[in-house]
């Protein structure tokens, strides 16, 4: 069966869902719309995460950027609140949700963030609790009804603490409660090994900077091997079509 590039069925998550299998989701960690569009063509975008620093880096209006990203992918697009009190977070979260149905409201792992998470989740919002640096914090986010918990592996590695250890702990804890709906979204990924280790541990989602997605694809032996195959093929004088 030949699948058109634009067909919804062409997306790998279609096959995994319908085969009854769950595969790791790849989110893209950027607010650069052009990058997301290019990666969506590769079927590498199951969702997107942004944060205030990424929005600042894009130099664009946040609401506009989030609306554009939501139109590219049907997957969850995390848009982060910037209020620090629960009332302000709730107001911002409700506003962000109104931009598009696939907005996931991102709140920090603070007391106010957990209160906002509980209320927004009860209203039916997908909530991504971010800036998680301990398994204890991940327990609280699950208790507050978060759809995603975002542990930051790279930032832990930066302070000489094993980021992957935290992923192992959270995955192990959440697995003990099969009805728990909170997904482990590995964030602050700096290189492909973070992704591979996360997949080995069974994390549900990894959010990847575009540069890391490109790194996943590349291997010098692939390039070298292809070059040799094509050179040998040329010598045969044949053509397939
Ligand atoms: C994603 O949700 C996070 O905001 C992001 O992965 C943080 O990455 P950084 O530590 O490289 O800034």
Domain count, the chain: 1
Indicate which CATH number applies to the domain containing 52.
Answer: 3.20.20.70
Mean pLDDT of 84-88: 98
The string of pLDDT tens digits covering residues 36-62 is 999 999 888 999 999 999 999 999 999
Cβ(128) – ligand 1 distance below 6 Å: no
Mean pLDDT of 66-78: 97
Residues forming a β-bridge with 185: 205
The string of pLDDT tens digits covering residues 126-141 is 999 999 999 999 999 9
Whether residue 21 is predicted with pLDDT greater than 90 in this model: the reply is: no
Cβ(49) – ligand 1 distance below 6 Å: yes
Q: What ligand 1 atom has the least distance to the C-alpha of 78?
A: 2
Whether residue 2 is predicted with pLDDT greater than 50 in this model: the reply is: no
45 part of a folded domain: yes
Residue 42: per-residue pLDDT: 87
104 part of a folded domain: yes
User: Average pLDDT of the chain?
Assistant: 92
The band of 31, judged by pLDDT with boundaries at 50, 70 and 90, is very high
Nearest CA owner, ligand 1 atom 8? 188
Which residue range is the domain that position 83 belongs to?
A: 8-236
Residue 204, both tokens: 């549900």
Cα(234)–Cα(230) distance, integer angstroms: 6
Nearest CA owner, ligand 1 atom 12? 188
Residue 194, both tokens: 């973070």
The string of pLDDT tens digits covering residues 96-117 is 999 999 999 999 999 999 999 9
Instruction: Tell me how far the alpha carbon of residue 35 lies from the centroid of ligand 1, in angstroms.
Output: 16
The band of 17, judged by pLDDT with boundaries at 50, 70 and 90, is very low
Residue 231, both tokens: 């050179």
128 part of a folded domain: yes
205, 25 Cβ separation under 8 angstroms: yes
Residue 43: per-residue pLDDT: 85
Instruction: Tell me how far the alpha carbon of residue 191 lies from the centroid of ligand 1, in angstroms.
Output: 13
Residue 130, both tokens: 């971010």
The answer to pTM > 0.85 is yes
The band of 75, judged by pLDDT with boundaries at 50, 70 and 90, is very high
Alpha-carbon torsion (186, 5, 210, 214), positive or negative: positive
The string of pLDDT tens digits covering residues 146-204 is 999 999 999 999 999 999 999 999 999 999 999 999 999 999 999 999 999 999 999 99
Cβ(188) – ligand 1 distance below 6 Å: yes
Whether residue 9 is predicted with pLDDT greater than 50 in this model: the reply is: no
241 part of a folded domain: no
182 part of a folded domain: yes
Residue 165: per-residue pLDDT: 98
1 part of a folded domain: no
Cβ(150) – ligand 1 distance below 6 Å: yes
The band of 20, judged by pLDDT with boundaries at 50, 70 and 90, is very low
Cα(38)–Cα(188) distance, integer angstroms: 21
Catalytic residue annotation? 106
Whether residue 14 is predicted with pLDDT greater than 80 in this model: the reply is: no
Residue 180, both tokens: 């728990």
38 part of a folded domain: yes
């Amino acid at each position: 069966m030949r699948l058109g590039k634009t067909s919804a069925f062409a997306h790998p998550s279609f096959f995994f869902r319908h085969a009854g299998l769950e595969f790791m989701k790849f989110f893209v960690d950027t607010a650069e719309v052009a990058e997301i569009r290019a990666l969506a063509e590769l079927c590498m975008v199951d969702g997107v995460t942004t944060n205030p620093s990424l929005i600042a880096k894009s130099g664009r209006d946040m609401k506009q950027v989030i609306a554009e990203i939501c139109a590219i992918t049907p997957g969850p697009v995390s848009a982060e609140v910037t209020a620090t009190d629960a009332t302000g977070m709730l107001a911002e979260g409700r506003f962000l949700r109104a931009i598009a149905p696939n907005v996931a409201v991102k709140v920090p792992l603070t007391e106010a963030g957990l209160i906002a998470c509980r209320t927004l989740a009860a209203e039916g919002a997908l909530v991504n609790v971010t800036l998680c640096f301990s398994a204890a914090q991940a327990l609280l986010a699950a208790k507050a009804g978060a759809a995603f918990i975002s542990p930051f592996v790279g930032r832990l590695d930066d302070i000489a603490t094993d980021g992957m250890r935290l992923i192992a702990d959270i995955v192990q804890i959440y697995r003990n409660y099969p009805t728990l709906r909170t997904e482990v979204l590995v964030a602050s990924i700096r290189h492909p090994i973070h992704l591979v280790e996360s997949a080995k541990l069974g994390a549900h989602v990894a959010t990847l900077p575009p540069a890391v997605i490109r790194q996943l694809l590349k291997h010098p032996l692939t390039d070298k091997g292809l070059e040799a195959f094509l050179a040998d093929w040329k010598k045969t004088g044949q053509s397939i079509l």
